Amino acid sequence: MRKLLDIAAEIVQAQASVGQMSADSIEQALIKTFSTLQRMQRAEEKGILLDKSVAGEEVFVEEEAAPAKKDPRDSIMDDKIICLECGTEMRQLTTKHLSSHGLTPREYKKKYGFSLKQPLSAKSLTKARSKAAKKRGLPENLVKFLAERKQKKAEAAASEGGSTQGADPGEGRPKVKRRPKARKGA
């Protein structure tokens, strides 16, 4: 990257080649150009804009284009959801869209503090889907299915000679054989 002094010298040299300048005016132009470039560089690093006021002094103004930090839950609205990565508004954040940012829905939810059960869709779309599921009888059918599955497991456990007393905290999960932990200092 080029140094600011080199850039300032190049600008003043271009000005001097167009019209006659005294040594003092070249020096003043170089100093003024260099200090202006320094202020511009600092403003760029901090992400703020320079605004020229009436008195001729530069004033730092916060950049309006930068999105303000908001509560991520505010991005889910009644008729749309706003992607917190790119600002795109849509009815649902799809896996395909999130993959363009290198994220899975689970990673996106963790990154922005959403519950893992929170749907990434507009509230109206979530309500419509819930209403349609209730109309099809999904909640009642789900309860029946879970009750039948629990009964089958209890019967299978009873036939193996195990008792069903005391609910197993890992009920419904497949049994996984685990290796014994390695001893330290062995």
Q: 69-101, pLDDT tens digit by residue?
A: 567 888 899 999 998 888 888 999 999 999 988
Quickly state the pLDDT bin for 153 (edges 50, 70, 90).
Answer: very high
Rg (the chain; Cα; Å): 33
Query: Among residues of the chain, what percentage have pLDDT more than 70?
Result: 78
Question: Of the candidates 84, 6, 4, which has an alpha carbon nearest to the alpha carbon of residue 45?
Answer: 4
Task: For the domain made up of 72-133, give the CATH fold.
Answer: Arc Repressor Mutant, subunit A (1.10.10)
Neighbours of 55 (CB within 10 A): 6
Cα gap 75→118, rounded to integer Å: 12
Give the pTM. 0.43
Q: Decide if pLDDT at 45 tops 50.
A: yes
Q: Using CA atoms of 142, 148, 151, 157 in order, give the dihedral in degrees to the nearest 10.
A: -100
Cα gap 6→17, rounded to integer Å: 16
Q: Decide if pLDDT at 58 tops 60.
A: no
First-residue to last-residue Cα distance in the chain: 56
In this prediction, residue 168 carries a pLDDT of 56
CA distances from 142 to 2, 96, 133, 161, 167 (A): 67, 29, 11, 29, 20
Q: Where in the chain is the domain with CATH 1.10.10.1550?
A: 72-133
In this prediction, residue 124 carries a pLDDT of 92
Considering only 22-31, 55-64, 175-184, which range has the smallest mean pLDDT? Answer: 55-64
| pLDDT, tens digit, 9 for 90 and up, residues 29-40 | 888 888 888 888
The pairing of strands 89-90 and 58-62 is unpaired
Question: Of the candidates 103, 109, 77, 73, which has an alpha carbon nearest to the alpha carbon of residue 90?
Answer: 77
Structure tokens at 130: 């819930």
